[in-house]
Amino acid sequence: MPYQKFLDAYGEIHDLRMTASVLHWDQQTQMPPGGGEARGRQLSTLGGLIHDRMTSAEFLGLLADAEGADLDDDQRAAVETVRFAVDRATKLPGSMVREMTLVESRAFGAWIEARQARDFSIFQPHLERIIELTRQKADCFGWKDTPWNALVPDYERGIDARRIASLFAPLRSFTVDLLDKIRGADQISTRFLDRQWDLGAQGEFGRRLIGDLGFDYSRGRIDIAAHPFCTNFSVGDVRITSRFDHRNPFEYLFSALHETGHALYEQGFRPEDERTPLAECPSLGLHESQSRFWEVTIARSLPFWKHYGPIMAGYFPGNLAGVDAGTLYRAANRVEPGLIRVDADEVTYNLHIMIRFDLELALLERRLEVADLPDAWNAAYKDFLGVTVPHDGDGCLQDVHWSSGAFGYFPTYTLGNIYGAMMTRRMEKDMPDLWDKVGRGDFAAVLEWLRTRIHRVGMRSLAMPLVEEIAGEKLTVEPLMGQLGRKFTDIYNL
Ligand code: ZN
């Protein structure tokens, strides 16, 4: 049967990819520094094998046979998913892929060095080469309006720069306006946070919360890593990481809950879809909508803290004596325009994304020279956030994305917030007692709502049509603005 033959061949490619994920996870969490070079070789060998298999005449033949067969809807979706990936891969000449890999691995090293030295000039020639190659890559894919449009489908299909800009424009003026009002209000003190927080207790409280949200420890685990992430090797094995800060318990907590949101998605694929193209997420924006939903919408809500404030105090009796739930809630939601995207609060976060979107468009369209990036970056931070960038390490060198050629990636973070708010509005209609449930630490129905509508769908639908169907409305930034407006008007008494 052609479909089964195709699926068997795909399964082997999938196994190779998951094996690479195990090596990558180990590299980030366990591996001693001495293993670095060999691990790089092992990953590169596996990457080459995966690419060769995926674009081999044999696999393309099996794919074509499957496409010609009589397929049901699920099988059709699986075949189309692979066709999209294969077409992207085969449009790029092998020589370009190899050069890209080499340039990116050197650029990554230069980026680390430049960031530490706070010296953009170390990274500049590498970024220039990356942008040149990325433009060539866009030309291979073919594009309309802007080369950026050729790159974004690797992360989010069915959207283009114009659509993103039309969502970002109203969100920007809304956010700047809200931020102005917050600046004029009484500020939130987080002084009670600034003390030693026992790492053992942080880990235990975190594990308890993650379990309460629905993370299945028999099908996953949590470890420590410098950069929090989530990865999966199968539906039965999903790994998350977080990092500790001795003087801020929220760092571990919210990083872990963010990654838990990603993990709940991956533990939620249908077991019978395992090792098929259906047990995947159709977009980064949709994946991010899940992490932000749990981290921000749920875990930074007042009902959540009314329930978990006293429980947290049990883990940190010395630190939280006399600190009430409202204080914890306000501290978890303090707004402060800053330099660093990953530390940004819920209100200013999207401004960081808009800055990167504008700049990467300008770089790819050659309206901005790489040499002028630091100045343009610093001017944008002044303009959007009112902050002065002291050095490039906290400025245009802070993110890893461009060093790996990931242009088109950044807007998916804000799309995740937009999708999440659209879903939440719908969830509140479907489940009038949603916030009562959260206030009791009961998340089973919330998780089940997400499982049936999103997680179990896997690759059966692209992200945007799925969200629009669930929400019952076209893609809109209005629910996100409503959510932010209500919450922060209340917190800051605006
Ligand atoms: Zn995320």
Owner of token pair 């919330």: 446
Q: How high is the pLDDT of residue 111?
A: 92
Q: Are 338 and 385 in contact (CB under 8 A)?
A: yes
Catalytic residue among 259, 288, 295, 346: 259
pLDDT band with cut points at 50, 70 and 90 for residue 222: very high
Contacts 24+ apart (CB under 8 A), 332-335: 332/250, 332/254, 332/299, 332/300, 332/305, 333/188, 333/300, 333/487, 333/488, 333/491, 334/187, 334/188, 334/190, 335/179, 335/182, 335/188, 335/488, 335/492
* Ligand 1 geometric centre to CA of 291 (Å): 6
Mean pLDDT of 196-201: 96
Each residue's pLDDT tens digit, 85-119:
999 988 998 888 888 888 888 888 899 899 999 99
Whether 238 has a pLDDT exceeding 90, the answer reads yes
pLDDT above 70 covers what percent of the chain? Answer: 100
Q: Which domains does the chain have, with CATH numbers?
A: 2-142 (no CATH), 161-491 (1.10.1370.30)
pTM for this structure? 0.96
Q: How high is the pLDDT of residue 102?
A: 81
What amino acid occupies position 98?
Answer: R
* Ligand 1 geometric centre to CA of 355 (Å): 19
- 448 included as an active-site residue: no
Whether 330 has a pLDDT exceeding 90, the answer reads yes
Q: How high is the pLDDT of residue 395?
A: 97
Q: How high is the pLDDT of residue 40?
A: 82
**Mean pLDDT of the chain, nearest integer:** 96
Q: How high is the pLDDT of residue 350?
A: 98
Whether 28 has a pLDDT exceeding 90, the answer reads no
Q: Are strands 237-242 and 230-234 parallel, antiparallel or unpaired?
A: antiparallel
Owner of token pair 């069915």: 158
What amino acid occupies position 459?
Answer: M
Query: 257-270: b or e for each residue (b if 16 or more CB lie within 10 Å)?
Result: bbbbbbbbbbbbbb
* Ligand 1 geometric centre to CA of 8 (Å): 31
Each residue's pLDDT tens digit, 258-274:
999 999 999 999 999 99
Whether 276 has a pLDDT exceeding 90, the answer reads yes
* Ligand 1 geometric centre to CA of 134 (Å): 24
